[in-house]
A and B are shown apart, each in its own frame.
Chain A
Amino acid sequence: MSKQQIYWFCQVCGWTLLVMFEFVMFTLEAGFILDYFFLAIANILLGILLTHLYRLMIKRWNWVRLPFLRLVPRVLASVLVLSFLMTLVNLPLDRILLPQSFIDEPAIFLGYLFSWTKTILAWVLSYTVYHYVEQTRNAEIETLLLKTSIRETEAKVLRSQLNPHFVFNALNSIRALVLENPMKAQQGITQLSNILRNSLLADRRKTVELREEIKTVEDYLALEKVRYEDRLNCRLELDPKTLYLQVPPMMLQTLVENAIKHGVQKAIGGGFIELISSLDSHDHLHIRIRNTGVLGDTEASSGFGLVNTTQRLELLYGPEASFRIYQESPDIVCAEIQMPTQSDSILKRTEAKV
């Protein structure tokens, strides 16, 4: 049942029950009077009409958005006006229909007004409170949705963001190479532009082939090698079967960058980084990044990057993917990613989202 239907159901049933209850009580006491029956029907219709007008009004001027203190006087005024109208119709008719049982008390008008106010107040209060609560809940949902979309944007930004420290250091090294080794300088510029291009493309694509991502990582490592020279040793060991599998863009790049920033860069004597890709027996893609370093300070400084990696995997693959980072031996840190190779799961999740 739609909200609209519920509303009309409540209107008709509510008013009918209310008025008919009084009519039956009256009939039991004074016998059936046809005119009085018509008056009851008219009252039902009038009640529905007036309260419906109130509903239109509350919607038209969006009263539920008003602060509480400004809402209260408006609601009370409407209740008074509505009951006044009901009294205005009922009082003269009652006087004509039932002159015999009508004792002309001095405060009869107030009595009528009071009894109708009770009824109308009950209606108006329940309706307005319901809407007030719903409105507040909707506002909450809106804020939540907004928060989610902000987080998504943040994730996008993070995905495409290269560490500026890296970019400027690379430029500085290349500048020194211009005189020292022009060939190497040219190479450096090409590598840097490849990385920049990929990082700019990253937020437009959900996944890329592993070999593309590896290319970025290789360029990145080549540039870092220019900076660190002998202090950086890198080794890539890739299973050819894995090269065409889909992976999230810039994810490995971020992890490799982390590994260098927190591992190799901190080691005075230099260090190594190793990237291994393989397929396991369940056809899952396994990627391991091992590097010199101590995990303790990694958690504090790059926790956000690691959390982001976990979240991206979760969003794309759900529970089928996993990411963990641990201290393999006193001076070696290992990060491990496992993800499904089928790209259907990505499609499924994308559809479910839409």
Chain B
Amino acid sequence: MKALIVDDERLARNELRRLLDNFPKIEIIGEAANADEALKLIDELQPELLFLDIQMPGKNGFELLQAIEGKTPEVIFTTAYDDYAIKAFEFNALDYLLKPVELHRLTEAIHRVEENQPHHADQENGAVRESSRVLGENDQVFVKDGEKCWFVKLGKVRLFESMGNYVRLHFDDQKPLVLKSLNSLEDRLDPNTFFRANRKHIINLQWIEKIEPWFSGGLLVTLRGGDKIEISRRQAIRFKELMSL
């Protein structure tokens, strides 16, 4: 698994590198001392795993994650001591390591990441790189709304709802807001899974439960979970094309 270490302290990076020597499966493909360096490396090297410090000069760890354009790699946070950050993790059951890092905690964290990882042995590497800009249902994104943050598998998101300059994500029983426009989001979502139903909504086709004809050639779609979304007439034509063979 290709991993990138992001920490502003050289010694801390060294220490982690030394600890990671114990895990031949983890291949360290780079190190970054701040968020800007990290973003460049993430884009170039497409790491599958980030070891990420939270307190860094410039952007902190969270801001770095929010700035990632494509899919978000798996993340293991490393922090010396940070009540606030740890609270955010507990909510999501994400993994974090306290510095100095204990070897057995590191082992646990890595195991958890490996379990989480979709088995994409059948995926060719070239294809991965090609589609890195488009987010499919197996890709995850980092979402932060106020104090809370989530890593969300896009397959779990049933609905994107435009709210002015923000987009509200609907998954499980959570509805965080992210500062993005629905249009820019649409460009990055895999069109085979996500469909622009109307001016205000993008729906996840996997979550459709029922489709009914609606006024003036439109359609009314009911999603699992009960949300009812109208598909405008223009989009209904495309929708039918997409759904028929």
Residue-wise, chain B 37-65 has the 8 Å CB interface mask toward A (1 for contact) of 00000000000000000010110000000
Are the CB atoms of B57 and A172 closer together than 8 Å?
no
- Distance of B51 from chain A, by nearest CB (Å): 13
User: Which of B10, B57, B80 lies in contact with A265, CB distance below 8 A?
Assistant: B57
- Across-interface contacts of A177 in B (CB, < 8 A): 11
Question: Is A164 interfacial (CB 8 A cutoff)?
Answer: yes
Are the CB atoms of A165 and B81 closer together than 8 Å?
yes
User: Which of A164, A169, A267 lies in contact with B9, CB distance below 8 A?
Assistant: A169
Are the CB atoms of B14 and A176 closer together than 8 Å?
yes
User: Which of A165, A227, A229, A267 lies in contact with B57, CB distance below 8 A?
Assistant: A267
Instruction: Report Cα–Cα, A265/B36, bound state, in Å.
Output: 16
Within 8 A of B (CB), among A248-272: 265-268
Are the CB atoms of B57 and A169 closer together than 8 Å?
no
Question: Is A228 interfacial (CB 8 A cutoff)?
Answer: yes
Number of B residues near A (Cβ < 8 Å) is 19
User: Which of B9, B34, B100 lies in contact with A168, CB distance below 8 A?
Assistant: B100
Are the CB atoms of A168 and B11 closer together than 8 Å?
no
Number of A residues near B (Cβ < 8 Å) is 21
- Across-interface contacts of B10 in A (CB, < 8 A): 229
Question: Is B212 interfacial (CB 8 A cutoff)?
Answer: no
Instruction: Report Cα–Cα, A265/B33, bound state, in Å.
Output: 12
User: Which of B36, B81, B100 lies in contact with A175, CB distance below 8 A?
Assistant: B100
Most central of B9, B34, B98 by chain A CB within 10 Å: B9
Are the CB atoms of B80 and A169 closer together than 8 Å?
yes
Given A164-B81, A175-B100, is A268 in contact with B57 using a C-beta cutoff of 8 Å? Answer: yes
Question: Is B209 interfacial (CB 8 A cutoff)?
Answer: no
Question: Is B122 interfacial (CB 8 A cutoff)?
Answer: no
Are the CB atoms of A172 and B99 closer together than 8 Å?
yes
Question: Is A332 interfacial (CB 8 A cutoff)?
Answer: no
Give the interface of A toward B (CB within 8 A): 164-165, 167-169, 171-173, 175-177, 179-180, 226-229, 265-268
User: Which of B11, B58, B101 lies in contact with A173, CB distance below 8 A?
Assistant: B11
Are the CB atoms of B9 and A180 closer together than 8 Å?
no
User: Which of B14, B58, B80 lies in contact with A180, CB distance below 8 A?
Assistant: B14
Instruction: Report Cα–Cα, A164/B98, bound state, in Å.
Output: 12
Given A165-B82, A169-B80, A169-B99, is A268 in contact with B58 using a C-beta cutoff of 8 Å? Answer: yes
Task: Write the chain B residue with the least CB distance to A170.
Answer: B80
- Given A164-B81, A176-B14, A177-B11, output 12 extra A-B contacts at Cβ < 8 Å: A168-B100, A169-B80, A172-B11, A172-B80, A175-B100, A176-B15, A176-B18, A227-B12, A228-B9, A229-B11, A265-B57, A268-B36
Are the CB atoms of A268 and B81 closer together than 8 Å?
no
Are the CB atoms of A172 and B100 closer together than 8 Å?
yes
User: Which of A164, A176, A180, A265 lies in contact with B12, CB distance below 8 A?
Assistant: A176
Residue-wise, chain B 1-45 has the 8 Å CB interface mask toward A (1 for contact) of 000000001111011001000000000000000101000000000
25 A-B contact pairs sorted by A residue (CB < 8 Å): A165-B55, A167-B81, A168-B80, A168-B99, A169-B12, A171-B100, A172-B11, A172-B15, A172-B101, A173-B9, A176-B11, A176-B12, A176-B14, A176-B18, A177-B11, A179-B18, A180-B14, A228-B9, A229-B9, A229-B10, A229-B11, A266-B57, A266-B58, A268-B34, A268-B36
- Across-interface contacts of B58 in A (CB, < 8 A): 266, 268
- Across-interface contacts of A266 in B (CB, < 8 A): 57-58
- Distance of A287 from chain B, by nearest CB (Å): 27
Task: Write the chain B residue with the least CB distance to A264.
Answer: B57
Residue-wise, chain B 96-139 has the 8 Å CB interface mask toward A (1 for contact) of 00111100000000000000000000000000000000000000
Instruction: Report Cα–Cα, A171/B9, bound state, in Å.
Output: 13
- Across-interface contacts of A168 in B (CB, < 8 A): 80-81, 98-100
Interface of A is mostly: helix
Task: Write the chain B residue with the least CB distance to A228.
Answer: B9
- Across-interface contacts of A176 in B (CB, < 8 A): 11-12, 14-15, 18
- Distance of B232 from chain A, by nearest CB (Å): 46
Complex A-B, nearest 3 residue pairs according to Cβ-Cβ distance, in ascending order: A176-B15, A168-B80, A176-B11
Instruction: Report Cα–Cα, A165/B82, bound state, in Å.
Output: 7
Instruction: Report Cα–Cα, A112/B34, bound state, in Å.
Output: 94
Instruction: Report Cα–Cα, A266/B55, bound state, in Å.
Output: 9
Instruction: Report Cα–Cα, A273/B99, bound state, in Å.
Output: 26
Instruction: Report Cα–Cα, A171/B100, bound state, in Å.
Output: 7
Instruction: Report Cα–Cα, A282/B15, bound state, in Å.
Output: 52
- Across-interface contacts of A180 in B (CB, < 8 A): 11, 14
Are the CB atoms of B80 and A165 closer together than 8 Å?
yes
Instruction: Report Cα–Cα, A266/B99, bound state, in Å.
Output: 20
Instruction: Report Cα–Cα, A177/B100, bound state, in Å.
Output: 12
Given A268-B34, A268-B57, is A226 in contact with B98 using a C-beta cutoff of 8 Å? Answer: no
- Across-interface contacts of A267 in B (CB, < 8 A): 57
Instruction: Report Cα–Cα, A164/B82, bound state, in Å.
Output: 9
Task: Write the chain B residue with the least CB distance to A166.
Answer: B80
- Distance of B160 from chain A, by nearest CB (Å): 33
- Across-interface contacts of A175 in B (CB, < 8 A): 15, 100
- Distance of A260 from chain B, by nearest CB (Å): 11
Task: Write the chain B residue with the least CB distance to A171.
Answer: B100
